[in-house]
Amino acid sequence: MFDLTGKLALVTGSGQGVGKGIAHVLIEAGAHVLVNDLVPERAEATAEALGKSASPLPFDVADADAVDAAVASCGPIDILVNNAGIPPSMRAVKFRSLPREEWAPYIDVNLYGVLNCVRATIDGMCERRWGRVITISSGSGVHGQNIGVSLYAAGKGAGISFMRHLAIECARDGVTANTLALGLMVREEGPGGEEARTVTAKLAGSIPVGRLGTGDDIGYACAFLASNEASWLTGQTIAVNGGSTTS
């Protein structure tokens, strides 16, 4: 069950954090994983750590030409996980205080990044009559929150809507498209720094199961969605959040 042997998967933003966990679990299930990241050294180090079933494929998901060139250099991609989603400039600030010049990166990575990666892979999936697209979103894309993430949430919500429509358009082609809406996760280094990690750790107690999520938790959900057994599951947004109702 949930055997991904022989499948080629691209996991964007998998040089660290959630994506690294997803890559690890997909490899355990038998897939070969292309480890993408904006930071080439991260993609290379993570691919090396994951072993011979992983290859680095650094590029910026928001750069359509770079996405097309990278995808063209690989074999046919069967499983696309759109995981890159936190722009390096991310900071928690409410909409009225967020300068217009800071809007674009949230939409670029979370909407155009998803569009670019789907555009580069979907024709091959439909032609081969098998494909899986999984987008990593957030409770922020589903619920209103007062934590200064409105632009990030706009991008996350856009990804959810796009997956729902892609799923219907490709439903007869053997391709499924789903979204995972994550709750609070263990954070590695990254935007927001130590302060963001401390705030996140403090909020862990409010999660019904009593802990933050890990990359592997999300990887198990991806392995299921990517499997043959999930061929009747498409167009859905699944909350993976330790039972939270607001994140």
Ligand X SMILES: NC(=O)c1ccc[n+]([C@@H]2O[C@H](COP(=O)([O-])OP(=O)(O)OC[C@H]3O[C@@H](n4cnc5c(N)ncnc54)[C@H](O)[C@@H]3O)[C@@H](O)[C@H]2O)c1
User: From the candidates 106, 112, 152, 220, which is the catalytic residue?
Assistant: 152
Q: Is 159 in the site for ligand X (CB under 6 A)?
A: no
Q: Which stretch binds ligand X (CB under 6 A): 30-38, 71-79, 96-104, 203-211?
A: 30-38
CB of 43 to ligand X, least distance (A): 8
Q: Residue 76 or 88: which CB sits closer to ligand X?
A: 88
List Cβ neighbours of 233 (8 Å cut-off, separation of 6 or more).
176, 178, 225
Contact at 8 Å (CB) between 117 and 82?
A: yes
Q: Residue 76 or 190: which CB sits closer to ligand X?
A: 190
Q: Residue 29 or 34: which CB sits closer to ligand X?
A: 34
Q: Which of 7, 24, 32, 187 is the binder for ligand X (CB under 6 A)?
A: 187
Q: Is 36 in the site for ligand X (CB under 6 A)?
A: yes
Q: Is 106 a catalytic residue?
A: no
Q: Which of 4, 10, 11, 18 is the binder for ligand X (CB under 6 A)?
A: 18
Q: Is 19 in the site for ligand X (CB under 6 A)?
A: yes
Instruction: List binders of ligand X among 53-92 (CB under 6 A).
Output: 60-62, 83-87
Q: Which of 214, 159, 161 is nearest to 183 (CA)?
A: 214
Strand 79-82 versus strand 54-56 pairing type: unpaired
- Measured at the CA of 227, the angle between CA 30 and CA 64, to 5 degrees, comes to 85
Contact at 8 Å (CB) between 136 and 81?
A: yes
- Measured at the CA of 174, the angle between CA 172 and CA 180, to 5 degrees, comes to 105
How many residues of this chain bind ligand X (CB under 6 A)?
31
Contact at 8 Å (CB) between 112 and 62?
A: yes
Q: Is 157 in the site for ligand X (CB under 6 A)?
A: no
